[in-house]
C-alpha cells in the first residue's frame, strides 16, 4: 500500500462519527436505520459518513430492495487498516461503550422480529419436515458427501435460496467465506440473526434472484441448492446460473426430493415440482457444463431426500 491510499483512508476515518460507524461495523452487518438509532444522527448525515467510508474501501455496501446494509471490507489493504484502527479504540471509551449497548438493543429487536415471523410460518415447516428423514441426517450426509472437514475445507461457498441460513450454519465452519442468497426479505432477517448467534462473521446473506445472481463469473468453489429447486419455475435455468459462478474446479450440490405423489405439497405449500428423478437432474447438470459425480439417497416415509453432487 503506497502512502497516498493510506492518507486517503486515514482522512476518511479521521472524524468521530465515522470512527464510531467503522467500529460498529466490526460487530456485524447493519442497515442505515440501525446505525442512525445507535449514533443518534439523521439519515442524511449518517448516509454521508457511510458514503465516505465506502469510497475509502473501509466498508462494503450491499443493496437489498430499498434498504442498504454495511459491513467491514473483507479484502485489500484498506480492510487490514480498518481492523488496525478498530483495535485501537479503547474498550472503556464511554462513547464506544454506549454505542455497543445500543447495538445490543438493536440486535435484540431484530431477533424478536425474526422469531415472530418464524413462529408464524413454523407450523407449515414442521408439517413438511415430518414427511422425510430428520434434518440432522441430511446435514450429516451433506458434510460427508462434500468431505467438508478435509484440510483446506470447502473454500468459497454460495447457498442459493438460503432461507434461514441453516446451510451456512452447518458448512460455515468448514469454508473460507460464504454467501447466502434469498428472494425473501423476512427469511434474510432470520438468517442474519442465526449467523450472528453462531458467530460466523465470514458468512453473509444477500437479497437476490436465483436466475440472476448479480455475482461475478467463477467466484465460488461450491454452490448449493438445499430444498429450493422444487419451488423453482425453471430449475434448469437456476442450475445454469449456479454453474456460471463456479470456478473451473467448482462443485454443485443439489438437495431435494425424489419423485413423489403428495399433491398437498403443491396445493398447500407452494411446491411447483413434486420431486426430481436422476435423469432429469443429470440432464440439467450436463447442459450447464457439469459432470454428475455421486448421488446419495436418504429414504423417508413417504419422502426420499436425494443429494446430487456434480463437478466441472
Write out pLDDT tens, residues 98-132: 999 999 898 888 777 756 755 676 556 666 766 88
Using alpha carbons only, what angle is made at residue 154 by residues 203 and 69, rounded to the nearest 5 degrees? 15
pLDDT for 111: 73
Query: What is the CATH T-level fold of the domain 3-105, as seen in this structure?
Result: Arc Repressor Mutant, subunit A (1.10.10)
Helix axes 3-13, 77-87, angle to 10 degrees: 50
Burial of 305 (0-12, 13-18, 19+ CB in 10 A): buried
- The residue extents of the domains of the chain are 3-105, 131-311
Tell me the per-residue pLDDT of 47-103, one tens digit each, with 9 for 90 and over.
999 999 999 888 888 775 567 888 888 777 888 888 888 888 887 889 999 999 999
Whole-angstrom Cα distance, residue 300 to residue 306? 10
Burial bucket for residue 257 (CB in 10 Å: 0-12, 13-18, 19+):
buried
CATH topology of domain 131-311: Rossmann fold (3.40.50)
Which residues contact residue 190 at a Cβ distance below 8 angstroms, ignoring those fewer than 6 apart? 114, 117, 118, 163, 164, 165
297 pLDDT band, cuts 50/70/90, is very high
Show the DSSP H helices in 40-177 as ranges.
43-55, 77-87, 94-129, 135-146, 166-171
> Cell numbers of 252, please?
454443485
Q: pTM score, two decimals?
A: 0.72
Residue 158 confidence class, pLDDT cut points 50, 70, 90: very high
- Nearest in space to 156 (alpha carbons), one of 74, 238, 72: 74
Amino acid at each position: 500500500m503506497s502512502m497516498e491510499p493510506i492518507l486517503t483512508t486515514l482522512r476518511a476515518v479521521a472524524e468521530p462519527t465515522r470512527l464510531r460507524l467503522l467500529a460498529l461495523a466490526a460487530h456485524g452487518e447493519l442497515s442505515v436505520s440501525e446505525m442512525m438509532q445507535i449514533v443518534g444522527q439523521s439519515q442524511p448525515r449518517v448516509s454521508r459518513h457511510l458514503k465516505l467510508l465506502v469510497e475509502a474501501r473501509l466498508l462494503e455496501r450491499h443493496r437489498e430492495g430499498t434498504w442498504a446494509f454495511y459491513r467491514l471490507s473483507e479484502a485489500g489493504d484498506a480492510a487490514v487498516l480498518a481492523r488496525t484502527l478498530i483495535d485501537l479504540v479503547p474498550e472503556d471509551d464511554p462513547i464506544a461503550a454506549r454505542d455497543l449497548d445500543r447495538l445490543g438493543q438493536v440486535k435484540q429487536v431484530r431477533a424478536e422480529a425474526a422469531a415472530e415471523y418464524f413462529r408464524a410460518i413454523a407450523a407449515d415447516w414442521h408439517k413438511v419436515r415430518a414427511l422425510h428423514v430428520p434434518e440432522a441426517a441430511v446435514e450429516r450426509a451433506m458434510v460427508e458427501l462434500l468431505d467438508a472437514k478435509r484440510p483446506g475445507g470447502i473454500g468459497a461457498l454460495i447457498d442459493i435460496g438460503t432461507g434461514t441460513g441453516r446451510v451456512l450454519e452447518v458448512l460455515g465452519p468448514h469454508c473460507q467465506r460464504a454467501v447466502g442468497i434469498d428472494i425473501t426479505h423476512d427469511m434474510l432477517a432470520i438468517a442474519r440473526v442465526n449467523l450472528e448467534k453462531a458467530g460466523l462473521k465470514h458468512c453473509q446473506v444477500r437479497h437476490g434472484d436465483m436466475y440472476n445472481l448479480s455475482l461475478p463469473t467463477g467466484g465460488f468453489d461450491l454452490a448449493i441448492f438445499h430444498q429450493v429447486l422444487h419451488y423453482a419455475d425453471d430449475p434448469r435455468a437456476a442450475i445454469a446460473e449456479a454453474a456460471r459462478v463456479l470456478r473451473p474446479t467448482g462443485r454443485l450440490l443439489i438437495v431435494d426430493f425424489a419423485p413423489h405423489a403428495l399433491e398437498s405439497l403443491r396445493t398447500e405449500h407452494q411446491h411447483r415440482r413434486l420431486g426430481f428423478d436422476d435423469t432429469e437432474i443429470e440432464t440439467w447438470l450436463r447442459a450447464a457444463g457439469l459432470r454428475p459425480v455421486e448421488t446419495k439417497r436418504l429414504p423417508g416415509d413417504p419422502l426420499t431426500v436425494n443429494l446430487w453432487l456434480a463437478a466441472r
